[in-house]
Amino acid sequence: MPEPIQLETKDGLYLPEADLWLDPHRKHRWAFVSHGHADHFARHDRIITSKPNAHILRARYNVTPSRLEPLEFQQPFDHKGFTIRLFPAGHIYGSAMIHLTRKSDGATLLYTGDFKARRGLTAEEPVFRQADTLIMETTFGKPQFVFPTITEVSGDILNFVNTALEEGATPVLHAYSLGKAQEALAILTEARIPAVLNSATAKMTTACREAGAGLPEPVLFQGTVPAGSCLICPPNSLHKDKYKGVENPRSAMLSGWALIPGAKYRYRCDAIFPLSDHADFPGLLEAVNRIRPKRILTVHGFTQEFATELRRLNHDAWSIDGDDQLELALRV
């Protein structure tokens, strides 16, 4: 059995043999950027990313093409003694997992970044590749997080929107401008409910369309919402002056955190629906079963809790940032 691919965890996730950082917050020479959300991006000298996400990075952060190494999904890329392939993560459009194979002995590693086990309406279907070492995101790594199907949650959202329209209110869906907003737009489009989007959301929808996503051309919010339409905008935006023309707004937040008691009041909205772009607890377990790793390292979210559950299931699993750090250091 080959030695595991080395991983260093000081100041982020770093693969020293490949001289490659994984979604680091600070600038580095070589980095993999899994998707276009700000907490996974920095202005690195060279960025390995998926081809659709490269277009999104250019649109959102004005990244120059010379800094990008855009790869088609499953396209092999040779890098410092490793073969790298990217696979769809299912998180948002263009999001990717990175898989490395060490050429000298065949040792493998998969880093998921943010991912989802179920296919949504806008992101590519996730593809899980077997790996010896799995570094996985565990945002919702507790058993209480079991999300409804996309059909079920879409039905609840549409019921909210249609009820608001019937009662003379303006339905407002709060969703982050990249990812969740496009999913909300797809739900409304399938139901033939027109939508207007704030400027940031419209810009990201256009970028996703240009990168290949099957979305309608966005209609820009210009101070009022036409009768019979729904407004899609980021959370906590209705208090801004530019939204004063929205008559009788009735708002709903779209978030996996909807399963936390009292979430509706925390987000100060009329309703909240568990539409998430992350894997829920069963989805995390499904990913492990499909990847069949020899060791698992958990990052982000409920890392300790999920690692403990995996050890209960006889996996060699440890949290990167938890109380089992000493045990992790002995095993990495």
Q: Are 178 and 204 in contact (CB under 8 A)?
A: yes
Six-digit token string for 103: 């050429």
Residue 239: is its pLDDT beyond 80?
no
pLDDT above 80 (res 322): no
pLDDT attached to residue 332: 40
Q: Which CATH architecture has domain 13-144+278-331?
A: 4-Layer Sandwich (3.60)
Q: In whole angstroms, give the CA distance from residue 299 to residue 203.
A: 30
Residue 154 makes CB contacts below 8 A (sequence gap 6+) with 121, 187, 190, 275
Please list, residue by residue across 233-266, b when 16 or more beta carbons sit within 10 angstroms of its beta carbon and e when fewer do. bbbebbeeeebeebeebbbbbbbbebbeeebbee
Model pLDDT, residue 323 = 60
Helix or strand (DSSP H, E) at 273 = strand 271-273
Q: CATH topology for 150-273?
A: Rossmann fold (3.40.50)
Of 298, 302, 291, give the one whose Cα is nearest residue 320. 298
- pLDDT of residue 301 exceeding 80: yes
HEC-encoded secondary structure of 78-133: EECCEEEEEEECCCCCCCEEEEEEECCCCCEEEECCCCCCCCCCCCCCCCCCCCCE
Spatial separation of the C-alpha atoms in residues 251 and 87, rounded to whole Å: 35
Q: Taking the domains of the chain in order of start, what are their residue ranges?
A: 13-144+278-331, 150-273
Residue carrying structure tokens 């698992």:
296
Residue 326 has pLDDT above 90, yes or no: no
The number of helix segments (H) and strand segments (E) in the chain equals 8, 17
CB count in 10 Å sphere of residue 272: 23
Query: CB 81: neighbour CB atoms within 10 A?
Result: 12
Task: Report, as an integer, the average pLDDT of 115-142.
Answer: 97
pLDDT in tens, 303-314: 999 999 999 999
pLDDT over threshold 70, residue 72: yes
What pLDDT, in 10s, does the model give residues 198-236? 999 999 999 999 999 999 999 999 999 999 999 999 998
Query: Residue 104: how many CA atoms within 13 Å on its side-chain side?
Result: 9
**Side-chain half-sphere CA neighbours of 23 within 13 A:** 20
In three state form, how does the secondary structure of 158-225 look? HHHHHHHHHCCCEEEEECCCCCHHHHHHHHHHHCCCCEEECHHHHHHHHHHHHHCCCCCCCCECCCCC
Number of residues in the chain = 332
